[in-house]
Chain A
Amino acid sequence: DSGVTQTPKHLITATGQRVTLRCSPRSGDLSVYWYQQSLDQGLQFLIQYYNGEERAKGNILERFSAQQFPDLHSELNLSSLELGDSALYFCASSVRDTRTDTQYFGPGTRLTVL
C-alpha cells in the first residue's frame, strides 16, 4: 500500500458525460501528478500540482481539467467523454517538487466509456 488513495476504483459511463476522479496523496506530500495508462498510448503524464498550484502540463486534453484543494487532495475532471478516453488513470504523489523525489502511485481508477 503506497498510501495514495484513489476513488472510485471503477467508473462506467457513456459518451458525452462528465466524471470526476479523486486522489488523496500520502500524508505530508505536497505534489500530485496525474497519469493516463491506455493500451495504445501507454503511460502518459497529464498534469502536476504542487501545494495547490498547477506546476506542469503534459498531454492533457482541453476537455480535461484538474485542481488541488487546500487539504491537498486533487480531482481530475473529464468532460465530453469519448470512447478513446477509456483508460486507467493514476494519481501519484511526492513530498516536494523535485526530480529526485520518488513518486508514489495510487491503485488507479479504471474508466470505461461506452
Chain B
Amino acid sequence: AQSVTQLDSQVPVFEEAPVELRCNYSSSVSVYLFWYVQYPNQGLQLLLKYLSGSTLVKGINGFEAEFNKSQTSFHLRKPSVHISDTAEYFCAVSEMDTGRRALTFGSGTRLQVQP
C-alpha cells in the first residue's frame, strides 16, 4: 500500500516570495504523482502531474514540481506567489501496474499568502 506525507500543514509566506510545499511518498511499486489545489469552497483542480520522462514538471499558474526517486519526494515550488495562490494544496499518488486507479492523497498543506 502507498502513503503520502505532506510535511507542513500550513505555510505562511509573503506575496512575491518563493515557496516550496513538500511531499514525500511511500510505495512498494512505482507511482504516478499529482498535485491538486483546492480553493475555498471549491473542488480540487489539477496543478500538474508526473507520469514519466523529465523529472521537472511544469504546471498551471506558474507552479512546478520535481520528482526525486531516490528521496521519494515530489516537492511543489513557485518562484513568486500571489495573494490568489492562497489555498489548500494536496499531493497524491496512484500506483503503476496494479488494479488500483484511485488517488491516495496527503493530508494537505494550507498556503497562506500575506500582503
Interface residues in chain A, defined as those with a beta carbon under 8 Å from any beta carbon in chain B: 2, 4, 31, 33, 35, 42-45, 48, 55-56, 58, 90, 92, 97-100, 102-108
Contacts and interface: CB of A to CB of B under 8 A. Distances in A.
Given A2-B45, A4-B43, A99-B101, 10 more contacts: A33-B101, A35-B103, A42-B107, A43-B90, A45-B102, A45-B103, A45-B104, A99-B96, A103-B46, A106-B43
A105 B43 contact: yes
Given A55-B101, A56-B102, A100 B107 contact: no
Contact of B102 (A2, A33, A100): A33
A102 B49 contact: yes
Interface in B46-90: 46, 49, 51, 90
Interface residues of B, number: 24
A56 B99 CA distance: 8
Given A43-B90, A99-B94, A99-B96, A107 B105 contact: no
Contacts of A43: 90, 105, 108
A42 B105 contact: yes
Contacts of B43: 2, 4, 90, 105-108
B44 A105 contact: yes
A101 B107 CA distance: 22
Interface of B: 32, 36, 41-46, 49, 51, 90, 94-96, 99-108
- Per DSSP, are chain B's interface residues mostly helix, strand or loop, or mixed? loop
A53 B99 CA distance: 15
13 contacts: A2-B45, A44-B105, A48-B101, A56-B99, A56-B101, A97-B101, A99-B95, A99-B101, A102-B46, A104-B46, A105-B43, A105-B44, A107-B42
Contacts of B49: 100, 102
B102 A58 contact: yes
A90 B44 CA distance: 9
Given A42-B105, A48-B101, A100 B32 contact: yes
